[in-house]
A and B are shown apart, each in its own frame.
Chain A
Amino acid sequence: MLSRVAASFYWLSRYIERSDGMLRMLKINYASSQDTIQEFTWAPVIRIFAGSGDEETERLENDSRAVLKHMVTGKENPNSIINIITLSRENARGVQEHIPKDLWQCLNEYYHTVKDPKIEKSLQREDPIGVLDVLIKQVMLYYGTAEITMERGEGRSFMNIGKYLERAIQSVDILDIKFGSVSDNPDLLTDTSYWKHLLQSIGGYELYLKTYREGFEAGNILEQVVLNNDFPRSVIYSVNNIQRYFDRLKNNSNMDDFRELSFQIGRLQSKIKYSSVKSIEQDGLHQYLTQIRKDLYGIGNALNEHYFANS
């Protein structure tokens, strides 16, 4: 497979996964902004997904409609849904003859849906949850179509590596910022709705209720989001999948390249596997997450160098 094609698979998939995470996060945060008597702040969401400076964050943080506009249809925000879906589609166009026509059409429709001026209008004037649901549905269609039509080959492996790498980075970022806010403001520690919204925004609320009977506790949440093998958005689940799909590239790889990546992924996997809530808290959560993030970026860079010919 051409290096450029492999890179396009990887990036088109990373952008889709990012849009999925963002849309869910926006939806739950908007809902919770309607359900509070205090002034609701969007600052964590803006910091996780838009990488905005302090000034911009301050300008936007209390204005839900402005945040939605900035995050979904904002052309000047490089990480807005519209911009990342445009990039995803451009990557897909670059590999159009390698992906099933159905999948291309699906992505193309997602793009045209976001581009539709009606979306921006509805976000400003109507019920934003309805709009976000329409977009989330496009992502789900994409995942369903990919699952059914994508050839089980190299291309799909690169797509899935991108998807799970993106997801792992997201989960790490979300935890880091949400727990960071708690250490700034210890009152949040006992704020039930704070934790509930965090779990809902990553789709882990129901699993949490089934697993833990004693209400919301920071340690339990940490355990679920980092260490639970069965939670599809946990860091360990994502890293296991990176390893799983990378392994399938073995027969299509140059052995030296394969060994290098395999080593890095395996090292990260063990690091997480042999942690516990207790050991993480001893090390300091922020330090722990920072190290994992660094390793995840390292895997991305190594792919770039060894597989995408971008050294």
Chain B
Amino acid sequence: MQESGYFDKYSPISGVWDEMYGADANVRDHYRKVIEYISGESADDLNKKEELAKRLFMSQGITFTVYNSGEGIEKIFPFDIIPRIITADEWTFVERGIKQRLTALNLFLKDVYHNQFIIKDGIVPIDIIYSCPHFLREMYQLQVPYDIYVHISGIDIIRDYDGTFYVLEDNLRTPSGVSYMLENREITKRLFPDLLPQCGVRSVTEYPTILYKNLLALSPRQIPNPTIVLLSPGIYNSAYFEHTTLARLMGVELVEGRDLVVNNHKVFMKTTTGLQQVDVIYRRVDDEYLDPLVFNPSSMLGVAGIMGAYRKGNVAIVNAIGTGVADDKAVYVYVPDMIRYYLNEEPILKNVPTHQLGNADERAHVFENINKMVIKKTNGSGGYGMLMGHAASEQEIEEYKIEVMKDPRNFIGQPTISLSSAPCYMQGELQPRRIDLRPYALYGPDGIEIVPGGLTRVALKEGSLVVNSSQGGGSKDTWVLA
């Protein structure tokens, strides 16, 4: 094989698993075709591709708006043109792991909202559950269709220095980013003509079809054309583009809270011809804002009375309300035990070792080794409010400790995992950057289906370990090989 200049100049980070660069200092087999392809392109050609990608994102309005001093600025979610590639074997493993984990988490939700066997049997301590703000009394003893709570999940997966897969967090509420999985693939088709079929990359286009099929199956009314809607907080939400994309791809109505009313425990939407009953709601509004009568009374995004309609079984809501108790980071610690308890199986995907700061001994251990630790809020997300011990100053650490001591239950500590790296195209050359992986799993009456692919997020800043878009992260197209 003709080695490319791009590959020769590539220097992987030592002590980090690189997706492309093998132990024998050669290109791993599954990256070979892509490297060959880009070797034939000059830096100019690749720069042009990068430009084209930016232009496509901008003109299609695949942007999010950052509001700064009253003025909206359109930004694109940075996109790296070099795909992240996953082999068939790796995928099979990850897929099995996610299915197992999701099955257990879903059983756990059914259990905590009904008989609570797992608490009575002493597997999960009761105070962890009852102190979780996302554990909702309103869901107690409520029967949900097919006993499915988590219809859509985006479990974050990372790889340590030896390539072992770990679950970093379970996103079981309203995970976002799936539109980027779909759009990144569309853009890659334009950037690298013919390359996808040559490499045998599996398609991701089934996602909206499967989701629609699952939503359809949930309709409480047995009628030929039930009304399915996607409930969005509106155009100012940073994921609004995703909401419109999904609504368009599934051919369902995109609604906002103000489009819906509840009458006699049924949900209706306001149309030009009067009220029309709604059967299934795929909501992208958090639990807290869903019903001002039951949750946050100042919410303008929700629908008054919707919880009553849900409890009556007159409308299906996806994901179910109250799933946040299962992706709380303090509960995360117990997921391997849940898998053993409910399924009598050993967990396929490992948890990152996690210390609860609510426990005095563990807290002391974390504080002693704080330079090797990451501390996170148990119900935080988006990379906000976390402390990276190896990068923080003395003062930041002291301030953070004070914050932790106010309510230790709300914090966990994890050893810094060194995240695998993948090649990114940066100013004319390939450079390693840290990545993670979020596959999207759809749980319907027919079981769990995962489209082969997902969102690969990448920390574009050199040396950074944080992939969140709010912290300078970007994304890559994710290829699963057949």
Contacts and interface: CB of A to CB of B under 8 A. Distances in A.
Contacts of B71: 75
Given A108-B59, A108-B61, A4 B270 contact: yes
A124 interface: no
A197 interface: no
Contacts of B271: 1-3
A90 B235 contact: yes
A154 B59 contact: no
Interface stretch (B20-28, B196-204, B240-248, B314-322): B240-248
A154 B272 contact: yes
A105 B60 CA distance: 6
B251 to A, nearest CB: 9
Given A3-B259, A94-B235, A108-B61, A254 B273 contact: yes
A307 B274 CA distance: 9
Interface of A is mostly: helix
A2 B270 CA distance: 6
Contacts of B244: 93, 96-97
Interface string A40-78: 000000000000000000000000000000000001000
Interface string B242-279: 00100110000111101100000000011111100000
Contacts of B72: 86
B259 A4 contact: yes
Nearest to A253: B273
B248 A1 contact: no
B235 A105 contact: no
B61 A2 contact: no
Contacts of A109: 59
B234 interface: yes
A308 B272 CA distance: 7
Given A101-B60, A104-B61, A108-B59, A6 B272 contact: yes
Contacts of A105: 59-61
A104 B59 CA distance: 9
A96 B255 contact: no
A274 to B, nearest CB: 31
A309 interface: yes
A271 interface: no
A252 interface: yes
A84 B444 CA distance: 44
Nearest to B255: A2
Contacts of A4: 255-256, 258-259, 270
A307 B272 contact: yes
Contacts of B258: 4
A285 B71 CA distance: 43
A294 interface: no
A253 B71 CA distance: 39
A112 interface: yes
Given A1-B271, A4-B259, A108-B59, A93 B235 contact: yes
B405 interface: no
B247 A97 contact: yes
B58 interface: yes
Contacts of B235: 90, 93-94
B61 A3 contact: no
B272 A1 contact: yes
A55 B106 CA distance: 66
A191 B340 CA distance: 93
Contacts of A249: 272
Interface of B: 58-61, 71-72, 74, 234-235, 240, 244, 247-248, 253-256, 258-259, 269-274
Given A4-B256, A4-B270, A86-B72, 6 more contacts: A3-B271, A4-B255, A4-B258, A112-B58, A154-B272, A309-B270
10 contacts: A1-B273, A2-B270, A2-B271, A4-B255, A96-B254, A97-B244, A108-B59, A112-B58, A253-B273, A307-B272
